[in-house]
Amino acid sequence: MLIMMRSLYSAVSGLRVHQTKMDVIGNNIANVNTTGFKSSSVSFCDVFNQTLSGGTGASATGLGGSNPMQIGLGVSVSSIDVQMTNGASQRTDNPLDLQISNDGFFVVTDGAGQKFTRAGSFRLDEAGNLVNASGYKVCGWQVDKSTGEIIKGTVQPLEIMGPNTYSIAPNKTTKIEFSGNINLADGDSTGTGIPMTMNFFDSIGNKYTGQVTAKFNTTTGEWEIPTFDYIKDSDGNDVQFGGVDVAGAVLSTPITLEFDTDGNITGTESFNVDFSAVTPFDGINSDVGDTGVLTLDFSGMTQYSSVTSVMFDSDGNEAGSFSSFNVGGDGIVMAKYSNGDTKVLGQIVLATFKNPTGLIKSGDNLFETSANSGPFDGIGVNPSNVGGLNSGVLEMSNVDLSKEFTEMITTQRGFQANSKIITTSDEMLQELTNLKR
């Protein structure tokens, strides 16, 4: 009877562990479409409790050795492990949806502590913070507002939209580069010469259009630009002070350009035009910003016997308003503005662990550290160092339905077989009790 009771309890342990495995399988299948979900797997181990006899070696009398005899007391769960393999990619085209290409976890916080997730479906809250679907703030490295450089330090919540994000200051033009070709025949001093137009901005973002005309002096063999032909504001009006055009007050020293016999510029290539002495450009007037010194660079010009064509390129721009932002593969969040300028808003970083399978699931697609996962250092790593991020893409669940259904079948058969042992043991016990009749 003791033996039958032992088999009965062994079968009960079999029912329990197979029920546990079915619970894990059911949870995996339930989360087949959960963003960033990591499936789990169950491992069993046998339980030995009673040794009927130990093994013996061969004796001197000629008898051989015998193996030990043991009776187990069933089965138990040895581990439930999280599978940290990457899930499939789902394209969303939402710039705030991020997928981790390889290893690592996003760092989020609720203010009470840090947690970690593979689910990169983020959004902005009413305060401009980057948050996940549960309201946890996404953490990363901040930006030095004076230099625009990323500060690699302790991670903090990232504020994407704030007072410093809605607009960006203008940049004063400091240099204009001319390129192209000027033909001698077009620059004859007896003719109209070759006009060169340009745009530039002052310190408060006002845009100006200016023009100079280059004429070739056959006596000196040089091109001469005596002064500005005009300088107009954004409304097309000539910039004046005291009724006099400002254009005639600059270039007190004429610009001269020389080219060698191969048509390449030689001698002085760039010239500084000082606007600081011209009152409308000295920053005193409230509606006109400072212009200061403007460098005109002609190093890209040639003097070939071909069509005259002059282009310019300049730095500086007007003030800009926020238009959009994106997240790069390195986690840097970059704002774009209407004037074409950009600004770094912060950098999303990743947490890595020596044993990521040792993390504890805490719900809401979040993990917490455990004694066996290793700690988070509080700083994190640049996503580029561990594979990078994909913007507009989400990582889906790594649940393999074909594997889960196969495991379900084998688990059901195991449960069924253990239940059959219970019914059979019950029948044997019933026969045993009937012996007295």
- Residue 208 sits in a domain whose CATH number is 2.60.98.20
User: Looking up tokens 């070939």, which residue turns up?
Assistant: 304
Domain match, 292 and 182 both: yes
Domain match, 204 and 292 both: yes
- Average pLDDT score over residue span 256-276: 92
Q: How confident is the model at residue 295 (pLDDT cuts 50, 70, 90)?
A: very high
Going by C-alpha positions, the residue among 354, 382, 369 that lies closest to residue 117 is 369
Give the other-Cβ count within 10 Å of 202's Cβ: 22
**46 vs 18, 54, 71, 80, 408, CA distance in Å?**
13, 19, 11, 15, 20
Length of the chain in terms of residues written: 437
Average pLDDT value for the chain: 89
Q: How confident is the model at residue 257 (pLDDT cuts 50, 70, 90)?
A: very high
Domain match, 231 and 285 both: yes
- Average pLDDT score over residue span 61-74: 82
Q: What is the pLDDT of residue 339?
A: 87
Q: What is the pTM of this model?
A: 0.75
Res. 3: pLDDT tops 60:
no
pLDDT in tens, 300-348: 999 999 999 999 999 999 999 988 889 999 999 999 999 888 899 999 9
Domain match, 122 and 180 both: no
pLDDT in tens, 28-55: 999 999 999 999 999 999 887 777 788 8
Domain match, 189 and 226 both: yes
Taking phi over 0 as left and psi of -120 to 50 as alpha, with beta for the rest, 128 belongs to left
- Average pLDDT score over residue span 54-59: 81
Q: Would 103 be classed as within a structural domain?
A: yes
**269 vs 49, 179, 328, CA distance in Å?**
94, 12, 39
Q: Per DSSP, what are the bridge partners of residue 128?
A: none
Which of 299, 314, 329 marks a domain boundary?
A: 314
SS3 397: coil
Res. 429: pLDDT tops 50:
yes
Which of 379, 395, 411 marks a domain boundary?
A: 395
pLDDT in tens, 195-247: 999 999 998 899 999 999 999 998 899 999 999 999 999 889 998 877 788 88
User: Looking up tokens 């502590």, which residue turns up?
Assistant: 113
Going by C-alpha positions, the residue among 276, 279, 210, 214 that lies closest to residue 242 is 279
| 32-41, 73-82, 241-250, 382-391: segment of lowest average pLDDT | 241-250
The domain tally of the chain equals 3
Q: State what percent of residues in the chain have pLDDT above 90.
A: 62
**Structural domain containing residue 429:** 2-47+74-85+399-436
Domain match, 261 and 275 both: yes
Q: State what percent of residues in the chain have pLDDT above 70.
A: 97
- Average pLDDT score over residue span 180-188: 89
Going by C-alpha positions, the residue among 39, 78, 82 that lies closest to residue 402 is 39
Q: Would 63 be classed as within a structural domain?
A: no
Q: How confident is the model at residue 189 (pLDDT cuts 50, 70, 90)?
A: low
Domain match, 96 and 80 both: no
Q: Would 304 be classed as within a structural domain?
A: yes
Residue 240: HSE in the Cβ half-sphere, 13 Å Cα cutoff: 7
Domain match, 147 and 116 both: yes
Q: How far apart are CA 44 and CA 297, in angstroms?
A: 77
Q: Would 386 be classed as within a structural domain?
A: yes
Give the other-Cβ count within 10 Å of 424's Cβ: 14
Domain match, 187 and 310 both: yes
Res. 60: pLDDT tops 90:
no
Domain match, 124 and 204 both: no
Q: Would 339 be classed as within a structural domain?
A: no
Res. 248: pLDDT tops 60:
yes
Which range of 139-148, 248-257, 372-381 scores highest in mean pLDDT? It is 372-381
Q: Would 299 be classed as within a structural domain?
A: yes
Q: How confident is the model at residue 2 (pLDDT cuts 50, 70, 90)?
A: very low
The token duo for 95 is 């710039």
Q: What is the pLDDT of residue 107?
A: 97
Q: What is the pLDDT of residue 253?
A: 81
- The amino acid present at 86, given as its one-letter code, is N
Domain match, 389 and 409 both: no
Domain match, 383 and 411 both: no
Distance of alpha carbon 416 from its chain centroid, rounded? 50
For 317, counting Cβ atoms within 10 Å of its Cβ (0-12 exposed, 13-18 middle, 19+ buried), the class is: buried
Q: How far apart are CA 245 and CA 276, in angstroms?
A: 15
Q: Would 64 be classed as within a structural domain?
A: no
**366 vs 133, 136, 372, CA distance in Å?**
11, 10, 17
Q: What is the pLDDT of residue 286?
A: 64
Q: Would 25 be classed as within a structural domain?
A: yes
Q: How far apart are CA 276 and CA 193, in angstroms?
A: 28
Which of 314, 333, 357 marks a domain boundary?
A: 314
